[in-house]
Chain A
Amino acid sequence: MTARLTRRALLAAALAAPALARATTGFALRVGIVLPLGGPSRADGPENLSHPAEMARRGAVFGEEEMGRNGALFGHSVTLFTANAPGAEAVARAARRLVAVDGVQVLVGGFSEAEARVLSEVAEETGTLFLNIAASADTLRAACTPMTFHVEASAAMYLDAMAGWFLRAGHRRWVILHGPDPEGRARLERARTALGQRHWGARITAEVPVASRDFTEALAAVADERPEAVLVLTDWHTQLAFLARYEAEGLTAPVAAFPEAATQTRRFYEDAMLAAPNAGAGHRAALWEPTLDAYGARELNARAAARWGRPMDSAGWAAYQAMKIAFDAAQFGGGAEGRAMAAHLAREDTVMDLHKGIGVSFRPWDHQLRQSLYLVRLDPAAGTGSDLATLEARARLVGELPAIYMPGTDPVERLDQLGDIAPRQACGS
């Protein structure tokens, strides 16, 4: 049989992500990851993101090693450059240095809205691909930034998933606490949408802005309203402080807290349960869960755990997959050039395997990765050790949304059940 250029063959080639016709050989992929690793004197506070940043660094190194191995089959090379840059100004300097001096074609990072915005700006200026791994702000998705792609789930996706799980569990009356800053108010607004427009049975009985560590009004609202669930949309640091006070007040309604990247670590889970043995041991949404036991996830988690001696947290997974996305984009997008890789990732027919059991893709209109999210339950019985088994036992997977293991619908439609699916703008038009 000779190669036939049939309609079916063309269609199949378009559907299969690794289209041979677009494959190249011998590229040198250079990735710069910008992380708020900080140092030993880093102050305690919400801006201290050194632990999740370190988890991301390990995921990126692991990704560099594995993609390097894959690249070696075809003569490609993969090199990771790491910059320690806490804060948006430092991030801007580091990103420009990585592009100008180290010649990276890909930037990875984004641990706050401000950092992600700066990285996105540098990417647009320099024609560098930017993969956001930890900033969930919906405003980032609304911007017209052709070089930016979001591996981290959006706040809208997280809130839709949380509303789905908790309402299904029977919680109808909610008190919402939120930060007073623009991101806090944006989360509140999107939570109203998730609870009010998508689940008409839900009722928000109080909305309380929480500034600094004064929880007086918030605790009074919970005591007065007797909600069936408390939704905490604050930063990770305030979440911990609130949990401790909440438990001390003897309040018992389940607490659902916003899963910003810093909260999706085994260390945070331990801190939450130490702060509030009951309220802190509830359910949490997650981008990734190291006990996921399907779709090749078990093997990926086992390799990562063997590499670092601890479970791969969400930030580690996102950084690993950023390396894989960049490598595949270079391999199938015509080489390691930023704009070519971005164009490949923006294609409707570019489908990737990120160990979530279904082909995932970036939404063309906002470059948000379509993907399923996980519900985990923290287990206080796991103890406080730091060995692998104890860390793994600290949480266990109890849910997946959208549930991708049941076939029968289009994967894109299924994954688009979470988040804002309507194009907010026609970028570039």
Chain B
Amino acid sequence: MFRNSLILFALMGSTAMASENYRLYVSNEYGANLSVVAPETGPEGEIEISGRPGDVRPRGMAISPDGKTVYVAVSDFLPLTEKPEDAIVAIDVATNTVLRSYRAGGNPERIAISPDGKQVWAALEAIAQGVGIDLETGEELGRFPTGVEPEGVDVSPDGRWAYVTGETSHTVTVIDTEALEVVTHLLVGNRPRDVVFSPDSTRAYASAEIGGTISVIDVTQNRVIETVSLGLDSRPVEVDLSPDGKLLYVAGGGTSAVYVVDTETLEVAHVIKERMGRRPWGVTVSPDGSTVYTANGLSDSVSVIDTACMCVTDEIAAGRGAHSIEVGHVE
């Protein structure tokens, strides 16, 4: 997701990056590869993650603050056996080649990069832990207990907190990234899938697939302060924010919809369904906020949403079981 690259682009003095300057990267869970897509011209090729599609699955993704490195969480279906495939793979956007692989036992599912670009944080789905890894040395900074089936993870833009959702425990685990300790666990909605911090690090939003809710967390107090209902059968999964933090985009997974929540009023401002691909699982916002992209797992595609009309304007082919999508910055 775009998340932490917000800071970099702000420092660069450019909040608008033309679409020819970025590429979309889509993790294909059942294809064991990534699709590379040019927003204007469509698919550009694939990056193989493993020669064992179906067994090895790339899922959650994150982008470095400079937009030049894409990270993808890779795992298999052997939860109690750590294999070389349980890894976080770094890919160079300039060359579309694998730069490095980080060992991450326990089926990493989703990941986030710290705002300084020096750490990756992962939810280790099979072993109910969150982990922080130093990206330069590959050293594990620590492992932290979460609820069973951790999935969503994000690092606050101020670098202070890592939040990890636990699907069966209905929790968000709060990790102090400086002290490297768990501060607390928050009860949120039923089956929380993902979490994202606001650009100013004061709020976080956690989606709950079965509850059909977004929990609004006051980060300064580490406390849930509001619950937004999207409807019991809305099945929210991945979430991302507009660059200004005013709109929360929620992939509606099994409902084949995208929900747009106004973060000031906490009202559902739009529900985008027409022409949406099937089972949008991943969602990301373009650097200028004008376009939203979803990774659609059942239609193996990317839906392109124009935020001016909040409507789908295009659909681009991806690979088998599109899971997550990120924006990479091309020089």
Contact = CB atoms under 8 A, between A and B. Distances in A.
A16 B168 contact: no
A168 interface: no
B149 interface: yes
B256 interface: yes
A398 interface: no
A357 B147 CA distance: 19
B210 interface: yes
A385 interface: no
B233 A3 contact: no
A132 to B, nearest CB: 22
Contacts of B173: 73
Residue of A9, A66, A296, A299 with most partner-chain B CB within 10 A? A299
Contact of B148 (A69, A302, A409): A69
Interface stretch (A17-25, A141-149, A370-378): A17-25
Contacts of A307: 80
A223 interface: no
Contacts of A299: 79, 125-126, 149
Given A296-B191, A357-B254, A12 B233 contact: no
A359 B210 contact: yes
Given A3-B226, A299-B79, A407-B235, A16 B211 contact: yes
Nearest to A307: B80
B210 A351 contact: yes
Say what secondary structure dominates the interface of chain B. loop
Contact of B212 (A3, A4, A15, A72): A15
A23 B145 CA distance: 20
B149 A296 contact: yes
Contact of A17 (B79, B189, B216, B224): B189
A198 interface: no
A298 interface: yes
A187 B225 CA distance: 50
B218 interface: yes
Interface string B65-98: 0000000000001111100000000000000000
B227 interface: yes
Contact of B227 (A9, A70, A352): A9
B190 interface: yes
Interface string B191-214: 100000000000100001111110
Contacts of B79: 299, 302-303, 306
B330 to A, nearest CB: 35
B168 A3 contact: no
A74 B191 contact: no
Given A302-B79, A358-B210, A353 B229 contact: no
Interface string B216-238: 10100000111111001101000
Residue of A23, A357, A404 with most partner-chain B CB within 10 A? A357
Contact of A1 (B167, B215, B218, B235): B218
A214 B224 CA distance: 65
A66 B126 CA distance: 11
B7 interface: no
Interface in A289-341: 296, 298-299, 302-303, 306-307, 324, 328, 331
A352 B190 contact: yes
Size category of the binding interface on chain B: 35 or more
A407 B255 contact: yes
A3 B257 CA distance: 29
B168 to A, nearest CB: 6
B210 A353 contact: yes
A359 B226 CA distance: 21
Contacts of A306: 78-81
B163 to A, nearest CB: 14
Interface in B124-149: 125-126, 128, 145-149
Nearest to A406: B254
Contacts of A15: 211-213, 229, 232
A379 to B, nearest CB: 18
B188 A359 contact: no
Contacts of B226: 1, 3-4, 9, 12
B187 interface: yes
A3 B225 contact: yes
Contacts of A351: 190, 210-211, 232
A220 interface: no
B171 interface: yes
Given A2-B225, A12-B229, A16-B190, A359 B212 contact: yes
Given A9-B226, A70-B169, A353-B168, A17 B128 contact: no
A402 interface: no
A16 B213 contact: yes
B185 interface: yes
Nearest to B266: A8
Interface string A338-354: 00000000000001110
Contacts of B103: none
Closest 6 CB pairs of A and B: A70-B169, A353-B210, A12-B227, A12-B229, A407-B255, A306-B80
Interface of A: 1-4, 8-9, 11-13, 15-18, 20, 23, 66, 69-70, 72-74, 296, 298-299, 302-303, 306-307, 324, 328, 331, 351-353, 357-359, 404-405, 407-411
Interface of B: 77-81, 125-126, 128, 145-149, 166-171, 173, 185, 187-191, 203, 208-213, 215-216, 218, 224-229, 232-233, 235, 254-257, 266-267
22 contacts: A8-B228, A8-B229, A15-B213, A15-B229, A15-B232, A16-B211, A73-B169, A73-B171, A73-B185, A296-B167, A299-B125, A299-B149, A302-B78, A302-B79, A302-B126, A324-B168, A351-B232, A352-B210, A353-B190, A359-B210, A404-B254, A407-B233
